[in-house]
Every structure is written in structure tokens, then in C-alpha cells.
Structure 1
Amino acid sequence: MTLGIVAALVYGILVILGGIIGYFKSNSTISLVSGILSGVLLLLAAFVQFQGQSWGAILASGVTAFLVVFFAFRLAKTRKFMPAGLMIILGTLALAIMVKQLAVFK
């Protein structure tokens, strides 16, 4: 199991948990749905990578990049570090690992 797969798994789990926490804290159904959808896509990407399919790394990188941009807009709008700032930092770290993994596939 490569570091890119681990990054996708960990970030996917964190995104799912964040969606669940957002739902219970703010009663936000959109947080729950988007968190679970994004997290499941990241977990699927990790599973596909584990099976040896290179498109899993592309999917994981794309979902993570989208989430980093989304949380950057959220941070700019709310000016609150939690949870957007933390997710930007973790997402950027995960994305850097995933992009490095993409270079290995080429």
C-alpha cells in the first residue's frame, strides 16, 4: 500500500466525519450529503488504486483539489479557521502526496 493510497483513505475518512459533525453541529443536510459523497469517492479512489488502477490516483487528486478550493472559499467567506482552515491544510498535504503518487504512475 502506497502513501498516496493512505492519504486518500485518511482524508476520505476525515471528510466523512466532518460531514457528520457538520450535520449534528449545524443541522446541515448539505454538509452531511457532500461530506459522505466526497469521502466515499476518496475511499473508492483508494480502493481502485490498491487494485492497481492508475485512474484512482487521478480521481483522488481531483476530489481533493476540489475540496481544497471549496474550503478556501469557505474560509474566505467565514474567516473562521475551523473547520475550513484545518481541511485546507490537511487537503493540501494529502494532495501533495497524491500528486507525487501520480508522477510514479507516468
Structure 2
Amino acid sequence: MNLSIIAALSYGILAIVGGIIGYIQANSKVSLLSGSISGLLLIIAAYCQFQGQGWALILAAFITAVLVVVFAFRLAKTRKFMPAGLMTILGMLALAVMVNQFVMKK
């Protein structure tokens, strides 16, 4: 198991947990739905990477990049570190690992 699989799996779990927390704290169905969908897609991408599917790394990196952009805009709008700042930083770290793995495969 390489680091890009761990990064996709971890960020996916974090997205799901964040969506659940957003639903519990703010009764936000959008947070629950978007966190669940993006988290499940990242977990599926991690599983497919583990199975040797090359496209799964690209899918995981794309989903992570979209989430980083969304959370960065939310951070700029709200100026609150939690949860947008944390998810932005952790997403950038996960994305850096994924991009590094992609470059190393080439």
C-alpha cells in the first residue's frame, strides 16, 4: 500500500465525518450529502488504486483538488479555521502526496 492510497482513504473518511458533523451541528443536509458523496468516491478511488487501477489516482486527485478549492473559498468567505481551514490544509497535503505518486509513476 502506497501513500497515495492512504491519503485518499484518510481524506475520504475525513470528508464523511466532516459531513456528518456539519449535519449534526448545523442541520446542514448539503454538508451531509456532499461529504458523503465525495468521501465515498475517495474511498472507492483508494480501493481501486489498491487493485492496481491507474485511473483511480487521477480520480482521487481530482476530487481532492475540487474539495481544496471549495474549502479555500469557504475559508476566505467565513474567515473561520474550523472546518474550512483544516480541510484546506489537509486536502493540500493529500493532494501533494497524490501528485507526487503520479509523477513518480511517469
SS of equivalent to 1:93: helix
Q: Please, what is the CA RMSD of the aligned residues?
A: 0.6
Aligned to 2:7: 7
Aligned to 2:99: 99
Aligned to 1:50: 50
- 1:52-106, Cα deviation, whole Å (9 max, x unpaired): 0110000000000000000000001111110000001100000000001111332
Q: What are the equivalent positions in structure 2 for 1:18-29 lying under 5 Å apart?
A: 18-29=18-29
What is the alpha-carbon distance in structure 1 between the residues aligned to residue 9 and residue 46 of structure 2?
Answer: 6
Runs (4 or more) in structure 1 with deviation over 6 Å come to none
Q: How many residues were matched structurally?
A: 106
- 1:17-67, Cα deviation, whole Å (9 max, x unpaired): 000000000000000000000000000100010000110000000000000
What is the alpha-carbon distance in structure 2 between the residues aligned to residue 50 and residue 8 of structure 1?
Answer: 11
Give me the identity figure in percent: 67
What is the alpha-carbon distance in structure 1 between the residues aligned to residue 89 and residue 49 of structure 2?
Answer: 23
Unaligned runs of 5+ in 2: none
SS of equivalent to 2:53: coil
User: Is the contact made by 1:68 and 1:92 (CA closer than 8 Å) also made in structure 2?
Assistant: yes
Aligned to 2:85: 85
Structure 1-normalised TM-score? 0.98
SS of equivalent to 1:17: helix
Amino acid at match of 1:75: L
SS of equivalent to 1:53: coil
